[in-house]
């Protein structure tokens, strides 16, 4: 079994934006919720659920997902402010070398990624919202070997 964010992370680390990253890398998918996948030395730390970290008294995905951005009609600047708070919290906990941002909203990455301030590099997922499908196919092939 593999969740969608872990599958997306596998694709991005194997062939995409995380290829060759040896440090800590965190993939985040922004859509209905916030999915996450974490890799250290190219190896997955499975089943992270960083969208359920508590900030402002609730799961972070309840106020920073792409759905919330749309439902609350947040401007890109307003949403980026929320994301900056989330990324600052992640840096406090993990200090990753690389963030990869995927999910449905990644097709519009130029609207918000330049507004995110992190110590680690931050890049869009190469495979955008298709990364999970690619990663699942890869994981299924590995499981059959």
pLDDT tens, 68-97?
999 999 999 999 999 999 999 999 999 999
Domain limits, the chain: 4-139
**Element spanning 45, H or E:** strand 43-45
* Per-residue model confidence (pLDDT) at position 145: 44
Q: What is the pLDDT of residue 79?
A: 97
pLDDT digits (tens, 9 = 90+) for 20-34: 999 999 999 999 999
- What pLDDT does 104 receive? 84
Q: Cα separation of 132 and 31, whole Å?
A: 13
Token representation of residue 43: 């190896």
CATH of the domain spanning 4-139, picked from 3.40.50.300, 3.50.30.60, 3.30.420.40, 3.40.605.10: 3.30.420.40
Q: How many residues does the chain have?
A: 145
What pTM does this model have?
0.90
Whole-number mean pLDDT of the chain? 90
């Amino acid at each position: 079994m593999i969740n969608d964010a872990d599958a997306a992370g596998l694709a991005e680390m194997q062939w995409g934006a995380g290829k060759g990253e040896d440090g800590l890398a965190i993939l985040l998918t922004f859509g209905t919720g916030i999915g996450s996948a974490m890799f250290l030395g190219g190896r997955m730390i499975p089943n992270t659920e960083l969208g359920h970290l508590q900030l402002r008294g609730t799961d972070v995905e309840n106020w920073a997902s792409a759905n919330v951005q749309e439902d609350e009609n947040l401007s890109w600047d307003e949403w980026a402010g929320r994301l900056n708070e989330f990324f600052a919290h992640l840096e406090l906990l993990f200090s990753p070398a690389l963030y990869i941002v995927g999910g449905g909203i990644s097709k519009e990455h130029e609207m918000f990624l330049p507004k995110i301030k992190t110590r680690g590099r931050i890049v869009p997922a190469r495979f955008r919202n298709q990364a999970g499908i690619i990663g699942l196919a890869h994981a299924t092939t590995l499981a059959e070997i």
